[in-house]
Structure formats: C-alpha cells, structure tokens
Structure 1
Amino acid sequence: MIDIHNHLLMNVDDGPASEREVLDLLHQAIDQGITNVMLTPHHYAGPYMTPKSTVIEKLAEIQKLIDDNDLDIEVHHGQEIRINENIIADLTTGFDTSLNDSRYILVEMPFTELPPFYETVIDELVENGYTPVIAHPERCAEIVSDPGILLELVNKGALAQVTAASVTGDFGEELQETAFKMIENGLIHIVASDAHHAEVRPFMLRKAFETIDGRLGEQVSEKLKDNARKIFADEPVVVEDPERIR
C-alpha cells in the first residue's frame, strides 16, 4: 500500500518529536503492508511553515533512520498545504512542492469556514497542470454542511482524500457516516493515514480498507488503493461521475 498523507517528519509540526517516535510509526506502517509514504508536513497552517527545502532536509533524517535500521519502506517528499493565494507562485519558486514533484498537490481546507478565494486557487492549480487533492473533506464543517461544494471541486478537476480513522469510526460515528456517504457518491478517491503518532494518531490503513471491504466490497477498496498507486506513479486518476449527496 501507498500512503500519500502523514506527518512523520521529526520536530517540524505536530508529528513525532523523537527518533523513537518516528521508528514506532515506521514499524507500524511496515506491519500494515505500507511500502511507500509521502511525507506531508503542515505548511501555511497556523504556526507551521515548512518549505520544500526543510522537507528535503528533514526527509534525509528519516532516510538515515530507515537505512540504519534496515527497514523495508521508502519515503518521498510532499506537503499538506493549507489553501492560500500564493500556492502557484510558491510552486514556481520551489517554496511549495507537489507530492514527490508529481502533478498531484495535497491541499487542506480550513476546518470551519472556507476562504472566499478557495475556488480561484483550485482553478489556478488545474489551469497550471496540477491536480489538487483535497485533504480530509469529511472534517471540513462547511463542506459537510453543503457537500455540493465538494462535488463542484471534483467537477473542476480536484480529487479528495478521506482519513483512515474517519472510515474506521475512530473519529466518531458521525464522521464515519459522512466519510462513507462521500465514498459511495464518488466524491472520495484516496484513503490516507494522516498519521501523527503511533499511539495517538496511528497508521490505520489496513483497518480502514477492511472496513470498506465489509461495507462496500473489495472492489471499492482496491480502486482506492490503486488511485494512491497512480498518484505515486504520477499517472492520471480516472474519476467516475460523482453524485450529489442527498
């Protein structure tokens, strides 16, 4: 499996603060069958500003831990960019980065109100050849109250990523039902861990896909897994006609 959203970099955001915590997360990922992870620290989010240069520098620390401990997992650079009006300019200068320099860029919306410029930024990204991946829309209050917003973003060319813990119910039954409604209506294209800590915010991809298997069938979970693989390979993700949640 491939995970496109997590917080494994050490001492850059609200992820791990020690080598031990990083190793715990890496072992957990390997135990779940995860082979590749995109390291996506918070960027432009509150106090967190993590430019591409910092991501590359801190990724080297993770790679050394992997090499020193002979771990069978690969790491790649990325960011979880809180939506802002500078993304295109910052991609041009190298301050921002897409997922492993692919066409895919992980974009986070605020958890409460959407900024007035969010549609313009999504349009700009698509027009410049990027595919925005909307991080955990099931946790964005304005999108949850009006799922038509997510439908419109997908129709514009964006993809959407649900968090594993939302799917499993570990974030609560209400979030789980929202997540499944989004999946069932073709509004979700990838499941990712959003892992921060092996105990508090762990990798839960295996449990998430088992939950999807049980409710929607193995074909759905395999498609979601394959979409993550396509993002990793910088291949196009085919989006079937999404539907409005009613």
Structure 2
Amino acid sequence: MIDLHCHILPGVDDGPATMEDAVALARAHVEAGTSTVVATSHVSWDYQDNGPANLLPAVEALRARLAEEDVPLEVLPGAEIAMTRVDALDNGDLAALKLGGSAWLLIECPFSPSAAAFAPVLDVLQARGHRIVLAHPERCPAFHREPERLSAYVSQGMLTSLTAGAFVGSFGREVEKVAREFLAEGLVHSVASDAHDLRRRPPGIREHLLAAGLDPALTEWLGRDVPAAILGGDRIPMAPVTFPKPSRGGVLGRLRARTGSGR
C-alpha cells in the first residue's frame, strides 16, 4: 500500500511526539503492509510554524533514523494544508509541500457545515496551476449537506482521499454510510490511513477495506494504484470493477435529486 495521508513526523503537529514514537509508527505501517507514506503534517493556523523550512528537514531526519533502525518504509514529503492557510502560502511554498514532489496538493476538508467558502479557495489554487486532492471529504459536514459540491469538484478534475477507518465505522455510522455512498457514486479515488499514533489513529489501509467487504482488486486500486499514479505523475487508472449501485436514500439520493441525475 501507498499511504498518501499520514502524520508521522515527530513533534510538529498532533502526530507522534518523539522520534521514538515516529519509528514505532513506521514499524506499524510496515506491519500493516504499507511500503510508502507521505508525511502530511498539518499546515494550518493551529500549527502556523509548519512549512517547508521545518517539514522538509524533519522528513530527512526521519528517513535517516529509519535507515539506522532498518525499517523498510519510504517516507516522502508533503502536507495536509488547511483551506484557511492557503492565502498565506506562495507558489514556492505550495510546490515544496506537494505530495511526494508531485503535481498534487492535499487540501484538508474543513469540519464546517457550509461549503460555500470552499469554492474561492479551490478555484484560486487551480488557477495558480495546482492540482488538488481533497482529504477526508466523508468527514466534512458540508459535503454531507451538499454532496453536489463534491461531485462538482470531482468533475473539475479534483481527486479525493478518504480515510480507511471510515469504511469500518471508526468515525461513526453516519460517516461510514457517507463513505460507502461516495464510493458507490464514483467520488472516491484513493484511501489513506490518516494515521497519527498506534492506538487512537493507527496505520492500516488494506485490512480496513477488506473488512468492509470491498473487492480485493478495488482495494488495490484505492490503496496502491491511484496513489502510485498521483506520485508518479501518471494518468489516473480506471477502476478495475464496477462500483455498486447506490441506494436512493441518504446523501446520494439528495445529490441525484438536486442534480436531476438518476440510475
């Protein structure tokens, strides 16, 4: 598995506090079948000191320690960027914070009830030439209320990265339902761990998706094939299986009612 969203750098956000904790988290990633993680520390006003100046050296320090400890996990640079922080970052900063040096930025979906303020930020980023992966939209109340906005963003070329634990109820039944419905509607392109620690938010992608009953080929597409294409600058591959037909109720029923679509 290739994990595009993981808080593994020590002492920079709400991930591991120490280098020892980060090494333990890296070992757990390897045990969970992950070969590569992108260190997506928070770049937000809560962690306003975070930026290329401190995050890139932290990646190099962790890489060196993992080599010393013989932990076979590749760690790449990146960030989880809050929408409210985007205006404070110039294009050079944004380029340095892209996922593994790719063309893609990981943008955090806020935990706010309205998506009205999202569009200006995302439009500006795209106008500045940046490609966007939306982090954990299944946990964003605004997309529960207005799923048509997420559908529109995907139509504009944005990708999504959902959290593996969402598919097995780690964030509650409503988030699990929405994650499954977004998947059924073709609004999910990759799945990551969003791991922070060993107990509260541990690593793992494949086991969660298989436990949720996803097809093994779809699991590999979400957890390996699409992330590899994102990091490698390749065309996003087609899904290997047909997505299950969504129910007419719930968030996607509202989506189809508002957009006039139906299946």
TM-score when normalising by structure 2: 0.84
Quote the RMSD (CA, aligned, Å): 2.4
1:245 aligned to which of 252, 255, 262: 252
- For the residues of structure 2 that align with 1:96 and 1:81, how far apart are their CA atoms? 12
> How do residues 75-154 of structure 1 correspond to structure 2 at under 5 angstroms?
75-84=75-84, 86-87=86-87, 90-93=90-93, 97-114=97-114, 116-154=116-154
Any idea what the Cα deviations from partners look like across 1:187-224, whole Å, max 9, x if unmatched?
Answer: 11110010000111101212222134x2x422322221
Equivalent residue letter for 1:195:
A
2:216 to 206, 215, 218: 218
2:216, 2:130 → 1: CA distance? 30
- Structure possessing the higher radius of gyration over alpha carbons: 2
Distance between the aligned counterparts of 2:174 and 2:7, measured in 1? 25
How far residue 159 of structure 1 moved from its aligned partner, in angstroms, is 0.6
Amino acid at match of 1:181: E
In structure 2, what is the Cα distance between the partners aligned to 1:236 and 1:84? 29
1:116 Cα deviation from its structure 2 partner: 4.6
Contact 2:3 2:38 in 1 (8 A): yes
Residues in 1 aligned to 2:113 and 2:170: alpha-carbon distance in whole angstroms = 24
Q: CA deviation at 1:84?
A: 3.3
**8 A Cα contact 2:101 2:231, kept in partner:** no
The residue aligned with 2:232 is 233
CA offsets 1:38-97 (integer angstroms, 9 cap, x no match):
001000243444101211111122112211101111111001000137459522356852
Q: Secondary structure at the match of 1:11?
A: coil
CA change 1:151–1:180 in 2 (3 A) is same
Following the alignment from structure 1 to structure 2, what is the Cα–Cα distance between the partners of residues 115 and 180? Answer: 21
Query: 1:123 Cα shift?
Result: 2.3
Residues 181 and 92 of structure 1, relative CA distance in 2, 3 Å threshold: same
1:193 aligns with 2:193: yes
Q: Distance in 1 between matches of 2:16 and 2:180?
A: 29
Query: 1:27, 1:93 → 2: CA distance?
Result: 30
For 2:208, the equivalent position in structure 1 comes to 208
Change in Cα spacing, 1:171 to 1:86, as seen in structure 2 (3 Å) is closer
Bigger drift between 146-155 and 115-124 goes to: 115-124
What percentage of aligned pairs have identical amino acids?
29
Q: For 1:14-59, what per-residue CA distance to the aligned partner results, in whole angstroms no more than 9, with x for missing partners?
A: 0101122112111110011111110010002434441012111111
CA distance in 2, matches of 1:93, 1:197: 27
Name the SS for the 1:196 alignment partner.
Answer: coil
1:165 alignment counterpart = 165
Contact 2:113 2:145 in 1 (8 A): no
Flag structure 2 segments of 5+ consecutive residues without an equivalent: 254-263
Distance (Å, rounded) in 2 between the aligned partners of 1:150 and 1:207? 27
* Runs of 5+ consecutive residues of structure 1 not aligned to the other structure: none
Instruction: Classify 1:114/1:46 alpha carbon distance in 2 versus 1 (closer, same or farther; 3 Å).
Output: farther
For 2:78, give the aligned amino acid.
G
Instruction: Supply the distance in 2 between the matched residues of 1:142 and 1:115 (Cα, whole angstroms).
Output: 5
| Amino acid paired to 1:235 | D
2:24 alignment counterpart: 24
Q: Is the 8 A contact 1:7 1:39 kept in 2?
A: yes
The question of whether the paired residues in 2 share the 8 Å contact of 1:189 and 1:224 is answered with yes
Provide the secondary structure at the position in 2 that maps to 1:4: strand
Whole-angstrom distance in 2 between the partners of 1:59 and 1:234: 21
Q: What amino acid sits opposite 2:220 in the alignment?
A: E
TM-score, normalised to structure 1, is 0.90
Three-state SS of the structure 1 residue aligned to 2:38 is strand
Distance 1:28 1:200, change over 3 A: same
Contact 2:104 2:132 in 1 (8 A): yes
